[in-house]
Amino acid sequence: MRSLRRIAFAVASLASLAGGCSCNEEVPIGGQCTDNADCASGLCVDGVCQTPGAVDAGGNDGADAALACHDLGAACDPQQAPPCCSGICRATDGGTPTCRESSLCQQQGSSCTDGTECCSQVCTSNKCAGGMCKPIGEGCAEAGDCCSTICTAGLCAQIPNSVCKNLGEVCAASGDCCSKNCQGGRCVRAAMCSAEGDLCLEALDCCNGTCNLPAAGGPGLCAVGWTAPGATGCIIGGEPCSDSGNCCSHLCEDLGSGQSTCVLGSGCRERGEICQGDGECCGTDTSEVTCSKTAATDLVGRCANPHGCAPVGNCCGAFGDNCRQACCNGHQAVCKLDSQGLSRCFGGCTIDDECSADCPNGYDGLDPDCCIAEGQECQFRDQCCDMLPCIQDGTGKYVCQAPTCTPAGQSCTPGTSICCNGLSCEPSGEIGFICRTSSVTPGGADGGVTNPSGDGGTVGPGYDAGPTCAANSAACTLDGQCCSGLCLAGVCASCKANGAGCTAPGECCSGLCTNGTCDPGATCVSQGGACSGTSECCPGFACDVPAGAANGTCQPGASCPTTGQNCSTTQACCQGLACFNAATGDPCASGDPRCTCHIVIN
Sorting pLDDT into bands at 50, 70 and 90, what band is 531?
A: very high
Around 386, how many Cα atoms within 13 Å sit in the side-chain half-sphere?
16
DSSP for 514-554, written as a single string: ETTEE---S--B-TT-EESSGGGBPTTEEEE--TT-S-EEE
Sorting pLDDT into bands at 50, 70 and 90, what band is 385?
A: very high
Q: Which of 316-320, 385-389, 530-534 has the lowest mean pLDDT?
A: 316-320
> What is the three-class DSSP state of 409?
coil
Nearest in space to 280 (alpha carbons), one of 548, 552, 553, 554 = 548
pLDDT at position 356: 84
Residue 104: pLDDT over 70? yes
pLDDT at position 29: 58
pLDDT, averaged across the chain? 79
Sorting pLDDT into bands at 50, 70 and 90, what band is 557?
A: low
Helices (H), 354-462: none
pLDDT at position 238: 92
Residue 363 CA: distances (Å) to CA of 213, 441, 456: 45, 41, 57
pLDDT at position 456: 45
Residue 594: pLDDT over 50? yes
Sorting pLDDT into bands at 50, 70 and 90, what band is 352?
A: low
Nearest in space to 68 (alpha carbons), one of 78, 59, 57 = 57
Percentage of the chain exceeding pLDDT 70: 79
- What is the radius of gyration, based on Cα positions, of the chain? 26
> Which of 54-63, 163-172, 315-324 reaches the highest mean pLDDT?
163-172
Residue 82 CA: distances (Å) to CA of 74, 166, 174, 283: 11, 17, 15, 48
DSSP for 131-182, written as a single string: S-PBPTTSB-SSGGGBTTS-EETTEE-PPTT--SBPTT-B-SSGGGBTTS-E
Residues contacting 263, CB < 8 A, separation 6+: 237, 247, 249, 251, 252, 253, 255, 340, 342, 534, 563
CA 504 remoteness from chain centre: 30
CB 479 within 8 A of CB 506: yes
pLDDT at position 351: 62
Report, as an integer, the average pLDDT of 46-54.
49
Query: Residue 98: what residue type?
Result: T
Tell me: the pLDDT tens digits for 105-152? 888 888 888 888 888 888 888 888 888 899 999 999 999 999 999 999
pLDDT at position 448: 44
Query: Residue 590: what residue type?
Result: S
pLDDT at position 459: 43
Q: Which of 385-389, 440-444, 584-588 has the lowest mean pLDDT?
A: 440-444
> Exposed e or buried b for every residue in 172-185, given b needs 16+ CB within 10 A?
eebeebbbbbbbbb
Please give the helix or strand (H or E) that residue 337 lies within, else none: strand 335-337
As a dihedral over the C-alpha atoms of residue 182, residue 212, residue 106, residue 239, rounded to 10 degrees, the angle is 50
Residue 21: pLDDT over 60? no
Sorting pLDDT into bands at 50, 70 and 90, what band is 41?
A: low
> Which of 63-67, 394-398, 562-566 reaches the highest mean pLDDT?
394-398
Report, as an integer, the average pLDDT of 302-320.
82
Tell me: the pLDDT tens digits for 259-274? 999 988 899 999 999 9
Exposed / middle / buried, residue 374 (Cβ in 10 Å: 0-12, 13-18, 19+): middle
Query: Residue 29: what residue type?
Result: I
Nearest in space to 539 (alpha carbons), one of 523, 515, 518, 519 = 523
Whole-number Å distance between alpha carbons of 268 and 344 = 11
Residue ranges of the domains in the chain?
76-225
Sorting pLDDT into bands at 50, 70 and 90, what band is 30?
A: low
Residue 581: pLDDT over 50? yes
Residue 439 CA: distances (Å) to CA of 93, 301, 372, 507, 561: 22, 45, 33, 12, 17
Nearest in space to 293 (alpha carbons), one of 282, 283, 278, 314 = 278
pLDDT at position 308: 73
pLDDT at position 148: 94
